[in-house]
Amino acid sequence: MPRFLYTAWFRDDDALEDDQDREWPACFMIEAADEGRALAWGDHLAGGFAGRRPKHFLQSHVETPEADASSLPVVEDGEEAGDQTIGW
């Protein structure tokens, strides 16, 4: 099954406006049948993370990785991966 690079952007509203870490990305691989399934599952996981923390889920996208992404966590479509697995 193909793997897709999923990137989600979050905002921490508790951080100061000029804090460079106020907005940040999280990246991981999703093993799914197609890009649509990977995006939907990634958004599900990112929304869950944002709901458990005082963070806002801003946007996301998926792409086919162009470089070696073997160091990133891998989540299967439908797998309820925990925060430590993903490394938020």
52 compared with 35, residue with greater pLDDT: 35
State pLDDT tens for residues 45-58: 999 999 988 889 99
Three-state DSSP class for 28? strand
Dihedral sign for Cα atoms in the order 67, 25, 51, 59 = negative
Indicate the pLDDT class of residue 66, thresholds 50, 70 and 90: confident
Counted domains in the chain = 1
Q: Which two tokens stand for residue 42?
A: 């990634």
Whole-model pTM over 0.85: yes
Cβ-Cβ contacts under 8 Å for 44 (sequence gap 6 or more): none
**Average pLDDT over every residue of 16-28:** 92
Indicate the pLDDT class of residue 88, thresholds 50, 70 and 90: confident
Range of the domain at 10: 3-16+23-86
